[in-house]
Amino acid sequence: MDPLDILTNKDQAFPCFQPIYSADEHIVVGYEVLGRIHDGAIIRSLGSFFHDESVPDEYRLEVDDLILNKALKKLLTEQNENVMLFINRDANLLMNDHGESLRKTLLHYREEGISLNRIVIEVTEHDFIGDIDQLNHLFSYFKTYGIKLAIDNVGKDGSNLDRLRLLNPDILKIDLQMLKQTGEVRTYQDVLFSISMLARKIGAELMYEDIETEFQLQYAWRNGGRYYQGYFLGNPEPTFIDEKMQKQQLKQSFEQFILHEKKKLQVQHEVTSVLEEKVKSVCGKCGTTNYHDLINKIAEALHDESFRIYVCDGNGFQKSENIFKEYDEWKLQPEYYDRNWSWRPYFLQNIMRMSIEQRGILSDLYSDIETGDVIRTFSYPIERGHYIFIDISYNYLFKKDELL
């Protein structure tokens, strides 16, 4: 729709509300405000208008404010006083007057009866081209009123984790559309893992948006999402909906997710037990003092499961060479002797855990530094404060879907 047509018919613009569901209660806890306009009998999105930089700032703000006022008036009629309203704002436009017009609008509706604890301002960090410190000061000021901050499209188009940490958002919104692009899934999942770690460190909640399938909902649940949004759960509507509309369906879906996850954990436990018994058996037959013989014997016993085996001491120094499987043949790599691996994530933590519990550990999935394959590592304590590490091949994991 032509921007001029929108501006000359801005009285036809109105807000729609897309529901946001919570993981803990399975009910609607908020709505994102989305701009729409009547074009004759057709309802059109205003998204492209708000992102069109050829339209003067004041005109975009005028339409944005019109929709915001209509949305806040609608919120006054909402019976649930805990439901949140997510308001999109272009951070660059917001800084034109340092958020003053938005602040005045929100304070006006606070006097009308809306608690500002219900307001969440959404911005896209990687679109902001100004001084990030000034933007941070603005949102710190807004937070004194109880207003929350959500960063949209996190992990997309080069989000800067340092800038995210500085802004200290309450909510990080993650777009799941990338999961449809199969060639980018593994890379994107790694990015999302980093984001989830950041969210945990700064105390932000994760919200997954653009959920269009049950698979995406399951992914969001499995990866720490507290809030969910997308066409799979509800379309943008001009009115609020029954907060419990999807409660039963979500409960049933989550029960299936839980059963699936329990099955995966059960298989992982069983595989850990099988690997532990095989390693114990080899150790019992050949002893654990000659690490050269030990890794060769374990390579024979775990030929199908593993592709690399070595021994380390409690400080992470390698006390054996590697034995590495290449083209189904095992070969020794003496150059790895005395290398130190204590710098690797969770290494010392797992060493201490094995030392205390005296049992084997199967690691999470991770990408191997040398091969680039997705693998797991089984580690097991042997005598005299030494530990054997057995890298499990992707081919073996692939045969057991619950391990991937």
61 pLDDT tier (thresholds 50, 70, 90): very high
Of the pLDDT bands very low, low, confident and very high (cuts 50, 70, 90), residue 181 is low
Average pLDDT, the chain: 93
Q: How sure is the predictor about 402, in pLDDT bands with cuts at 50, 70 and 90?
A: confident
**Rounded mean pLDDT, 158-184:** 81
312-334 residue pLDDT tens? 999 999 999 999 999 999 999 99
pLDDT digits (tens, 9 = 90+) for 129-167: 999 999 999 999 999 999 999 999 887 765 688 889 999
How far from the centroid of its chain's Cα atoms is residue 296's Cα?
Answer: 41
Q: For the residues 154-182, what does the mean pLDDT come to? A: 82
Q: Is the pLDDT of residue 208 over 90?
A: yes
Provide mean pLDDT across the span 238-254.
96
Given this model, what pLDDT does residue 329 score? 96
pLDDT given for residue 159 in this prediction: 66
pLDDT recorded at residue 192 = 80
Weakest mean pLDDT among 1-10, 66-75, 97-106: 1-10
What mean pLDDT is predicted for residues 109-122? Answer: 97
Cα separation values, 251 from 22, 139, 196, 320, Å? 11, 35, 24, 51
Q: What is the pLDDT of residue 21?
A: 98
Question: What is the dihedral sign for C-alpha 128, 135, 155, 211?
Answer: negative
β-partners of residue 76 are none
Ordered by where they begin, the domains of the chain are: 3-230 (3.20.20.450), 260-403 (3.30.450.20)
Annotate the chain with three-state secondary structure.
CCHHHHHHCHHHEEEEEEEEEECCCCCEEEEEEEEEEEECCEEEECHHHHCCCCCCHHHHHHHHHHHHHHHHHHHHCCCCCCCEEEEECCHHHHCCCCCHHHHHHHHHHHHHCCCHHHEEEEECHHHCCCCHHHHHHHHHHHHCCCCEEEEEEECCCCCCHHHHHHHCCCEEEEEHHHHHCHHHHHHHHHHHHHHHHHHHHHCCEEEEECCCCHHHHHHHHHCCEEEECCCCCCCCECCCCCCCCCHHHHHHHHHHHHHHHHHHHHHHHHHHHHHHHHHHHHHHHHCCCCHHHHHHHHHHHCCCCEEEEEEEECCCEECCCEEEEECCEEEEEHHHCCCECCCCCCHHHHHHHHHHHCCCEECCCEECCCCCCEEEEEEEEECCCEEEEEEECHHHHHHCHHHC
- Asked if the model's pLDDT at residue 182 lies above 60, the reply is no
Residue 1: per-residue pLDDT: 86
Q: Which residues partner with 45 through β-bridges?
A: 36
CA distance 269 to 292: 29
pLDDT of residue 189 exceeding 80? no
Taking residues 208-224, what's their average pLDDT? 93
Q: What pLDDT is recorded for position 158?
A: 59
Q: Which two tokens stand for residue 160?
A: 């800067």
Q: CB–CB of 382/292 below 8 Å?
A: no
pLDDT value of position 345: 84
| Least reliable range by pLDDT among 143-157, 181-195, 216-230, 333-347 | 181-195
pLDDT at 183 over 80: no
**0.85 surpassed by pTM:** yes
Torsion of CA 251, 252, 254, 256, to 10 degrees: 160
- % of the chain beyond a pLDDT of 70: 97
